[in-house]
Amino acid sequence: MIQKMKKLTFLVYHKEYDGFLVELQKLGVLHIQPSADQSQAEPDALRRLREELRVVQEVKASLLKTAGLFDEDVVPGDADAAIVARVTEIDERLRVVDAALERARSDEGLLAPWGDIDRVQMERLHKAGLQEYFYRVDRAYFDKKLTDYSDLEISRDKKFVYFMAFSVDGREPEGIAAVPLSLPDVTYSEARKRVAELNGERDRLTAERMDIASNRIGGIKAYEAVLLNRIAREVADFDTLRAAGETVMVLEGWFPVVQLEAVERFLKGADVYYEMRDPVETDLVPTQFRNNWFNRMFEPLTKMYGYPCYDEWDPTPVVALFFTLFFAICMGDAAYGVILMLYGLLEMRGLARKTPILGEMLHGCGGMLVTLGAATTVIGLSLGTVFGTNMAEWTFVSWPPAVVEYFRFVQGKFPGTEYSFQMVAAIIIGVVHLCIAMLVKALLYSKKEGFVNNLGQWGWTLLMVGGIVTGTLAAIGTLSQEVTTWLLIGIGGVAAVCIYFLNNVQRLRNRFVQGLIINPLAGLYDTYNMASGLLGDVLSYVRLYALCLAGGVLGSAFNSIGSMCAEGFTGGIAVAVLIYVVGHLLNLLLSGISAFVHPLRLNFVEYFKNAGYNGRGIAYEPFRNK
């Protein structure tokens, strides 16, 4: 559901405006409406604050990762900008040290085979007109082809020989089939000392950084809040209209009706002129959700697509229900559902945070995971699937005849067809989902445009929903064949009139004859779009069955491979256990990804399209202290 809003307009004397903004920020409920004139560039002070905030948030995120913490784990301390500057300085110095350390290690590696070359001795040789050259060559080749240089061999390892050669004319000796090397100007001992010094400095910097991450990050979080509050006030000032020669500041905003009592107390103590009113049709009102605990867990999914407009309906309740159902069908394994529930419980208690990758990805989703896991467990048991095994085939359980008959029913053909029960069930669920979407669209458009101006949409809704309900009642024997026939004729006739003649009542009112010609043509065009679009939409729900089947087949395949290993050779049981664990873990992850993406698509594409939902609303963001 969407929270009801009221609009407030303030007129404040410019000399009192800064203090008024501070008190308004403490109230923390007003969503400030941007001024009509947004053509001006943001002030330099605001841009500088945003850049400083960006740096602070990057430093904080880096320290949180270093300490293995989440933002809510940190208790704000005393705001301290100096800590941010010090961390930035440390990070810059670490970059320099790492680059220097890489060069020093490279020098150390190059010089290791040569040891400490006596530079003084080399200098004497230079004065005598000799020039040294350094080479590396394969050991076998050296021992066979380069025996003349045996006296100049410096060292050798398992693969190469390192040797020197000299020339008296300043030119490199010819005919030496070896790799020439260029050595650094430092000695091996100097390179090792340099590496040790840089490692020591790096360790000191890293230790200081870790100390800040563990003990002083609260000061960074507090300073971030200070910056956010200053930015919020700067933005509020930027969004304020100036009147009466810029002596009067005009500020407009929205607040939830549930906060009316707090707002009225604030207004009594504020020495300002204000006006309060309800929204009108032309207002751009922010949206705040108002849902129960179950739907609240799925609000992030709706926000991924976009907020509903204030005069629309919140799609979250439908998304929550059907996403849960679709996810459970796609997973389709009771054991996987139990694992999801357990992981969700661990996440809710903060015990799953150290899980590689998943700990960060699923942080804050513990309640949703428990819900999805419970639904998956129920659906998995209903389909008779546990860790890729068919419960109906368990030889260690003696199922009652009714349970055996039930498994035979859900795992067999749909009555009266040659198609799988699960596939037809997925299509039926999809049809129900689309019918709800069409009904929501008809109701919403009638609310916004009026019932008479939306008769075409009601015609399609009546045809689809009424036809399906009538057919269902006839199939279960509630309606006789004669009653069903007359009902379908009546539904089809009323729907045809609405679709082909009353799809645009305004056109008939303005030019009746022209409307009688154009409306049926427009209805035919809508018929083509509706028929082709609905067919594709309905078939999209087959993916629910396909993904459930794919997960079950893959899990069964891992079971078969594990069983063959267990029975095939000595020590096969250990291999089988490894295959079971790794295989089902992989299948769980793959199924989990598919079970998230495809149900999300069915809601975002098929449902939202047929429900007329566009997600162009504005999020309610109150002006408050952070």
Are 198 and 100 in contact, with CB atoms under 8 Å apart? yes
CA distance 316 to 323: 10
DSSP structure string for 11-50 = EEEGGGHHHHHHHHHHH---EEPPPS---SPPPHHHHHHH
CA distance 577 to 145: 56
pLDDT at 545: 92
Confidence class of residue 38 from pLDDT cuts 50, 70 and 90?
A: low
- HEC string of 122-156 equals HHHHHHCCCEEEEEEEEHHHHHHHCHHHHHHEEEE
Average the pLDDT over each of 16-20, 208-212, 329-333 and give the range with the smallest value: 16-20
Q: Give φ, ψ of 80 to 5 degrees.
A: -145, 105
Per-residue pLDDT for 419 more than 70?
yes
Residue 257 identity (one-letter amino acid): V
CA distance 437 to 607: 6
Give the helix ranges, DSSP H, for 476-571. 481-500, 505-510, 512-540, 542-568
DSSP code of residue 281: T
CB atoms within 10 A of CB 134: 19
Per-residue pLDDT for 282 more than 80?
yes
Are 308 and 299 in contact, with CB atoms under 8 Å apart? no
Strands (E), 375-454: 385-386, 389-390
pLDDT at 365: 83
DSSP code of residue 355: S
Confidence class of residue 65 from pLDDT cuts 50, 70 and 90?
A: confident
Encoded tokens for 325: 């159902």
Beta-sheet pairing, 618-619 with 286-287 = parallel
CA 296, 298, 300, 303 torsion: positive or negative? Answer: negative
- HEC string of 554-576 equals HHHHHHHHHHHHHHHCCCHHHHH
pLDDT in tens, 457-484: 888 888 888 888 887 788 777 788 888 8
Confidence class of residue 581 from pLDDT cuts 50, 70 and 90?
A: very high
Average pLDDT, the chain: 87
**Helix axes of 512-540 and 481-500: crossing angle, nearest 10 degrees:** 120
3-state secondary structure of 153: strand
Sort 493 into a burial class: Cβ within 10 Å, 0-12 / 13-18 / 19+: exposed
CA distance 537 to 78: 56
